Amino acid sequence: MKRVFKSIIVFIIIVLLSLCGVNIISGNGGEERNSKINNILILVNRKNGLDKSYIPMDLTIPEIPFSDEATNEEKQVAGIIKEPLEELINEAKKEGIILIGNSAYRSYESQEIIYNNRVRDEGKKSADAYVAKPGFSEHQTGLCIDITNKYRYFAEGTEEAEWLEKNCSRFGFIIRYPKNKKRITGIEYEPWHIRYVGKDVAKYIYDNGITLEEYLEK
């Protein structure tokens, strides 16, 4: 009888342990979701979208100059890029180049409004050609920012665009939509849109003249 009792106790302990095990596993799942939100190599393009609930970790406003048009939401970046971005802007200034933040984080809801307004004003065809659908804008990651200059004219050939192209990888950023890569990125050349990927990856992408898509495929 004592033996049977002992077996029952052992059985109960095993059941309890396995229940704990289940809890531990689901706990890890939670951590995994968080690390995904902190994943600096997350790929967002026309084929890879983000969930409506995706919000970057530690959204914060960096200490850099912003254009007057930037909304408070757009001034925010994921916490992880605050310092690298400030370093980039400060170093540019030391070298005589004034860079201004224009638009960084955009929530799913904001993108939805932008997209729907475009559809209303110019039709779905125009909206689909020029505006990312909600969930498919990299700006929702908080890992990128559109830069401008004091003339609000940030185009190829300006000294600001040239400086950014040559130097942003030193701070962990890449020109996300380079020239002649539309067939891969799905987006025309945008010299103003920089994306944080960390210094090592940025250097690799810059040195090899590739895109984030090509880097992730290798």
Question: Which positions are catalytic?
Answer: 190
| CB of 64 or CB of 218, closer to Zn ion | 64
Q: How far is the CB of 146 from Zn ion (least distance, A)?
A: 4
Tell me how far, at minimum, the Cβ of 25 lies from Zn ion, in Å.
38
**CB neighbours of 199 closer than 8 A, spacing ≥ 6?**
169, 170, 171, 172
The terminus-to-terminus CA distance of the chain in angstroms comes to 64
Question: Closest distance between Zn ion and the C-beta of residue 131, in Å?
Answer: 11
Three-class secondary structure of residue 154 per DSSP:
coil
Number of residues that bind Zn ion (CB under 5 A): 2
Ranked by CB distance to Zn ion, the top (closest) residue is 193
Q: From CA 188, how far away is CA 181, in angstroms rounded?
A: 8
CB nearer to Zn ion: give 68 or 207: 68
Return the residues of window 111-170 that contact Zn ion according to CB under 5 A. Answer: 146
Residue 191 phi/psi, 5° resolution?
Answer: -65, -15
Choices 36-44, 52-60, 125-133, 188-196 (CB under 5 A): range interacting with Zn ion: 188-196
Stretch that binds Zn ion, among 44-52, 114-122, 192-200, 202-210 (CB under 5 A): 192-200
In terms of CB distance, is 12 or 155 closer to Zn ion?
A: 155
Number of H helices, E strands in the chain: 8, 4
- Smallest distance from Zn ion to CB 89, Å: 16
Question: Counting beta carbons within 10 angstroms of the beta carbon of residue 72, is it exposed (0 to 12), middle (13 to 18) or buried (19 or more)?
Answer: exposed
Cβ proximity to Zn ion: between 33 and 46 the closer is 46
* Eight-state DSSP code of residue 207: H
Please, are residues 64 and 86 in contact by the beta-carbon 8 Å criterion?
Answer: yes
> Interface with Zn ion includes 193 (CB under 5 A)?
yes
List residues near Zn ion by CB under 5 A.
Answer: 146, 193
